[in-house]
A and B are shown apart, each in its own frame.
Chain A
């Protein structure tokens, strides 16, 4: 292989003289984590709302929930990011649009919204599945002891449902981390973007991308381990979520 390997490159200064290439990758990692957490917050909140709506007795709620899921699930993430970043500010009234476009964190915010809503449709599907997996008796028991619909959800259904779907939610969170990478197309300097720019300046293509790959591997391993620990602590003996 006629390629000049240089693993020492990580300790070289970047052209912007703000630190080493390693430091630049680490700052990319920070952005990746921050973006994943912010997007996950949106995904979790919106996903829960929509997921719960789809289990309500009201038919309009089910319809709205289904429409929401279909909309965000059937358009590629990249297209959704472009719409949040390029299209939506154009459709807003003049000054507001310009104000949004000139936000310094514009790309980050667009990526957060795009990724958050995209993932929320997947979270919603999981939540619905979790609630529907509970024995019907649970909901009836709630009604029987005089709880309102809201109380039934709050005290009976949701605590059980979230435990059941904890493992799939963990994997959706891991997907959220991976799906931060397409944000580089709208100018977010996350980990893959940092690796790409390291490659451009240092010409060390494979060192840059393998380092980024290794960081993603470690990140997903750490998240998986932490989630397993949380899952164990949350487990209720006798329920399928806990074994």
Chain B
């Protein structure tokens, strides 16, 4: 079954797979996590605010993003973003947004919806009494959020945030549909050029598995540690 396996093709393409493909995959994951988390936190605060307009907007944004398949959003944003840019800065022609910038914005906006649900749960996990205590000692909303609520919310949700990041890491493989060279894109380009699908796709699966399995192992340990301290 594996007798005519060509391990050499994997060996030869390793630098390309990792230096280009995996570097892009990891960069996209990291940037989308950081910005998605920031945006998600803002959306969560809007959702929990007393303003009906703000929370209404947050609810519809989250529901919209969570109802659409990521592949569709990747296509749509890739084509739409230059026009949106044009509209925002009132330029006379569409603003150029490259493939990489476009995927980063897409993943940030998409994942923000998921991170906002996590952060909402995190904010709600902080007892109301602490918020009131904050106001009682004369802090304003920003200070209460900044010094009391968000650090705890973030800390309580850390394992869930990491788990979502692992999901995000896997989701980045969908940029394949745009022919962008992420890890899977690199593997499939080599696979198609050399007619070595079996080797390349199994190798890609193995690499993703090792990374995600190791990462989720550490998340589980983190979860235990955090739950003991609380």
Contact = CB atoms under 8 A, between A and B. Distances in A.
Is there a direct interface between A and B, measured as CB atoms under 8 Å apart in the complex? Answer: yes
Interface of A: 1-3, 70-71, 73-80, 82-83, 86-87, 90-91, 174, 178-182, 184-185, 192, 195-196, 205-206, 209-210, 212-213, 216-217, 220-221
A178 B200 CA distance: 27
B173 A76 contact: yes
Interface of B: 1, 64, 67-72, 75-76, 79-80, 83, 86-87, 93-94, 170-171, 173-174, 176-177, 184, 188, 197-198, 201-202, 204-205, 208-209, 212-213, 216
A41 to B, nearest CB: 20
Given A2-B93, A91-B198, A213-B68, A75 B83 contact: no
Contact of B72 (A78, A91, A195): A195
Contacts of B205: 75, 79-80, 83
A220 B65 CA distance: 12
Q: Name A's interface SS.
A: helix
Contacts of A206: 76, 79-80
Given A75-B209, A217-B64, A181 B198 contact: no
A87 B197 contact: yes
Given A76-B170, A181-B69, A216-B67, A86 B204 contact: no
A178 B69 CA distance: 5
B87 A79 contact: no
Contacts of A2: 93-94
Contact of B177 (A79, A87, A185): A185
Contacts of A73: 212, 216
A209 B76 contact: yes
A1 B198 contact: no
Given A78-B173, A82-B188, A195-B72, 4 more contacts: A73-B212, A76-B208, A86-B197, A213-B76
A65 B170 CA distance: 22
A178 B170 CA distance: 15
Contacts of A90: 197-198
A214 to B, nearest CB: 10
